Homo-oligomer: A and B are copies of this chain.
């Protein structure tokens, strides 16, 4: 901090010739203040370039007006979308966000959650919470509402339904005649965790497969390091049940998978069909354009944020918090064909 001396509320009060409490009141728009007094204070505030200290305010008022958002991996563009949705909604209600990048590393995530605890966030939004259910306990105990994206399955009354897209995609693949498929997922190879969402997807695959009377393999390939992608793919293609359709589990996964396909000199869709979860802005621009399972992350961010606001006692947009999210959908573009 060196010699930084900040203007305080007392300075403003002195400049305006009033009591500090009055300044506080205009700051918070709380009690009635005479217009001219208010004007004097506001002028002083501006003139002195006063910025109230968040620390002092929240210490005194026991409110921080912040919510933490823990993203598993900021390098995933869908999370950025999600974030903006949440941010818009929360800012409209005067809350600000502490964004943190989990970097797919449980240690980092734990550290960040501890920081949230110290910061006294009033609410928490987490995605892929399955990796940290234990870490979330302190929040629940402290009465801090946690809004997890992960647990929103239709059978739990949550607004999320992510099965329609999967189902449509795999019906399409099996109808085309594919038998063996491989799903590449972004997970640390040393500690693979199967999210509920992933399980739900696998169920959708099984269902589509059964509908078509197919008995092929569904390989699930956890990829931590992009460099692993090509070797894993090569091994798969050399083995029994070589997949003819490759599915990228998310935005992050897609580029490495395409890189591997390229490295092996495979043509899309002639040699392999490709489907990607998440309609990254690259997907449509790829050659050929990628068939994707698209999902509206922005809306999900808004919905989670609204639900949080409701739990915080802020009468947020009730409709947004209660509404079911639009289901995901399959977009066929050009990367899927008869095997």
Scan A74-113; emit 1 where CB is below 8 A from any B CB, else 0.
1101001101100100010000101111010000000100
Report how far A258 CA is from B283 CA in the complex, Å. Answer: 10
Q: Give chain B residues whose Cβ lies under 8 Å from the Cβ of A96.
A: 115
Counting chain B CB atoms within 10 Å of each CB, which of A74, A81, A143, A262 scores highest? A74
Report how far A226 CA is from B280 CA in the complex, Å. Answer: 13
Known: A62-B1, A118-B53, A138-B49. Contact between A285 and B258, CB under 8 A? yes
Q: Give chain B residues whose Cβ lies under 8 Å from the Cβ of A280.
A: 255
On whether the beta carbons of A4 and B80 are closer than 8 Å, the reply is no
Verify if A180 is at the interface (C-beta below 8 Å from B).
no
On whether the beta carbons of B84 and A80 are closer than 8 Å, the reply is no
A267 smallest CB distance to B (angstroms): 9
A289 smallest CB distance to B (angstroms): 7
Report how far A52 CA is from B259 CA in the complex, Å. Answer: 47
On whether the beta carbons of B285 and A143 are closer than 8 Å, the reply is no
Verify if A142 is at the interface (C-beta below 8 Å from B).
yes
Counting chain B CB atoms within 10 Å of each CB, which of A52, A80, A87, A122 scores highest? A80
Known: A258-B285, A285-B259, A287-B262. Contact between A142 and B75, CB under 8 A? no
On whether the beta carbons of A64 and B75 are closer than 8 Å, the reply is no
Report how far A142 CA is from B182 CA in the complex, Å. Answer: 57
Partner of A281, one of B81, B119, B226: B226
A282 smallest CB distance to B (angstroms): 5
Scan A33-46; emit 1 where CB is below 8 A from any B CB, else 0.
00000000000000
Scan A301-319; emit 1 where CB is below 8 A from any B CB, else 0.
0000000000001000000
Report how far A322 CA is from B2 CA in the complex, Å. Answer: 22
A93 smallest CB distance to B (angstroms): 14
Q: How large is the interface on A (under 10, 10 to 19, 20 to 34, 35 or more residues)?
A: 35 or more
Q: How many copies does the complex hold?
A: 2
On whether the beta carbons of A98 and B101 are closer than 8 Å, the reply is no
Verify if A21 is at the interface (C-beta below 8 Å from B).
no
**In the complex, which residue of chain B has the Cβ closest to the Cβ of A288?**
B287
On whether the beta carbons of A101 and B84 are closer than 8 Å, the reply is yes
On whether the beta carbons of B313 and A2 are closer than 8 Å, the reply is yes
Verify if A234 is at the interface (C-beta below 8 Å from B).
no
On whether the beta carbons of B64 and A55 are closer than 8 Å, the reply is yes
Report how far A280 CA is from B75 CA in the complex, Å. Answer: 11
Q: Give chain B residues whose Cβ lies under 8 Å from the Cβ of A19.
A: none
On whether the beta carbons of A83 and B77 are closer than 8 Å, the reply is no
Partner of A59, one of B53, B91, B99: B53
Q: Give chain B residues whose Cβ lies under 8 Å from the Cβ of A80.
A: 74-75, 101
On whether the beta carbons of A281 and B255 are closer than 8 Å, the reply is yes
Counting chain B CB atoms within 10 Å of each CB, which of A98, A256, A281 scores highest? A281
A302 smallest CB distance to B (angstroms): 15
Known: A281-B255, A289-B262. Contact between A51 and B114, CB under 8 A? yes
Report how far A289 CA is from B263 CA in the complex, Å. Answer: 11
Q: Give chain B residues whose Cβ lies under 8 Å from the Cβ of A237.
A: none
Q: Give chain B residues whose Cβ lies under 8 Å from the Cβ of A51.
A: 114, 117-118, 138
| Sample of 10 A–B contacts (CB below 8 Å) | A2-B313, A55-B55, A59-B59, A74-B74, A74-B83, A80-B101, A87-B101, A256-B281, A258-B286, A282-B282
